[in-house]
Amino acid sequence: MEGSNKQSVDEPRQSSPAGLIIRQKEPTNLEMPFDKVDSYITPTELFYIRSHFPAPRIDVTDYQLRIKGAVRNPLALNYQELREMPSETRTATLECAGNSRVFLVPQVRGAQWELGAVGNAEWTGVPLRALLERAGLEDDACEVVLEGADRGTPAEEPIPPGPISYARSVPREKAIQPEVLIAYQMNGRHLSRDHGYPVRAIVPGHYGMASVKWLTRIQAVREPFQGYWQTSDYGYWDYLDGKPVRRALAEMKLKSVIARPRVYETLLPNRSYTVFGAAWAGETDVTEIAVSTDDGQTWAEAHFIDPARRHAWRRWKFDWLTPNQRGQYTLLARAKDANGTVQPDGHDPNFGTYVINHPLPIEVLVEDPSER
């Protein structure tokens, strides 16, 4: 091998995130230009990257995954041992809880994600529940804390007294579901370093913050975990007996997004144009999409391209005959799920700078450039 950089034999080449939009250079935060959605599975090089700290470099020969806390047999597995356990492959959509933040008016703090901090990939790994069974999860464990190898001091108040590692907990009921994976492959290849090489958690149906990358420790706990990304960040206001209480974000909310046309795209009058998008939900299925081309005054049904598969997005399309009348038109898409829930009309302020799942306006211009 040329060059002097030490690289473990197994470390994957970085997939090239060519064409992603930079939201933050370091740590790496990149989003997909959402109008590029073309396939059911998002190619790894187009999949958004959301990291709080610089990606750690982990040599797979030193890698250890420790499982401890409220378990009868604490254990440590090396990479090979993990690879030898029975594995599963599942398709799951990850969406960052702050996706589409740029649509909030007035502007709020945080990375100004447009539509593309979301992707749908195929993940391969060992079900977390198989590891918890092997370790003997105690009956009184209420949550499972997943901890990554990346460390640093968060920039947002309240700033912890020193560097901390990225950690999130998953409620016990979710942690033992078969879909929660301790994954080592994405789209049939080793994880890339930015996506968590060598091992990450995938918690389908929950916002992306639960899918801890560079996973090195799994700790079962008897008290709800109160870590930084559980309480200070990725929290929201709920109500208990009429009083506001903080809770940790978890399940993804129903959302449908228009990928094409793009904002302010110019379309020809009186032509057939196929509006295209994708929709996803947390622990249920998306069953209907309605599209409006007149800013919500009237709605018409769109058609699904993909079947309903729990935890994975469904692409959809809608054939629009563009109006004769030149001007600006606002397009919206609104999903309904199997429980009869529809997307809310506006952003719920109890979610702060997160959970932006109301129909997002895509303004387009209908005009004939030859008539300008």
313 forms part of the interface with ligand MTE (CB under 6 A): no
Query: Using the rule CB under 6 A, is 343 a contact of ligand MTE?
Result: no
Cβ neighbours of residue 81 closer than 8 Å, sequence gap 6 or more: none
Pairing mode, strands 266-267 and 362-366: parallel
Instruction: Decide: is 356 part of the binding site for ligand MTE (CB under 6 A).
Output: no
One of 90, 195, 206, 315 touching ligand MTE (CB under 6 A): 195
Contact present, 50 and 234 (Cβ < 8 Å): no
Number of residues that bind ligand MTE (CB under 6 A): 18
- Residues 182, 131: contact at Cβ < 8 Å? yes
Determine the interface stretch with ligand MTE among 49-57, 82-90, 219-227, 294-302 (rule: CB under 6 A). Answer: 49-57
Beta carbons of 219 and 69 less than 8 angstroms apart: yes
Q: Which is nearer to ligand MTE, 209 or 258 (CB)?
A: 209
Contact between 63 and ligand MTE per CB under 6 A? no
Map residues 66-105 to x or -, x wherever contact with ligand MTE holds by CB under 6 A: ----------------------------x-x---------
Report the residue number, 214 or 280, with the smaller CB distance to ligand MTE.
214
Please spell the DSSP secondary structure of 14-68, one letter per residue: PP--TTPEEEETTTTEEE--GGG--SSSPPGGGS-EE-SSPPP---TTT-EEEEE
CA dihedral 330, 335, 336, 338 (to 10 degrees): 170
Query: Quick check: 197 binds ligand MTE (CB under 6 A)?
Result: no
Tokens 């790496």 belong to 28
| Contact present, 305 and 319 (Cβ < 8 Å) | no
Scanning residues 150 to 169, which ones bind ligand MTE (CB under 6 A)? 150, 166
Residues of span 124-153 touching ligand MTE by CB under 6 A: 148, 150
In contact, 109 and 169? CB cutoff 8 Å = no
| Choices 137-145, 169-177, 206-214, 335-343 (CB under 6 A): range interacting with ligand MTE | 206-214
Looking at 23, 101, 172, 213, which residue binds ligand MTE (CB under 6 A)?
A: 213
Give me the least distance between CB of 120 and ligand MTE, in Å please: 11
Closest to ligand MTE by CB, 34 or 166? 166
Q: Which is nearer to ligand MTE, 51 or 100 (CB)?
A: 51
* Nearest-angstrom CA–CA distance, 50 and 30: 7
CB 290 within 8 A of CB 300: yes
Q: Which residues bind ligand MTE (CB under 6 A)?
A: 47-52, 94, 96, 148, 150, 166, 195, 208-209, 211-214
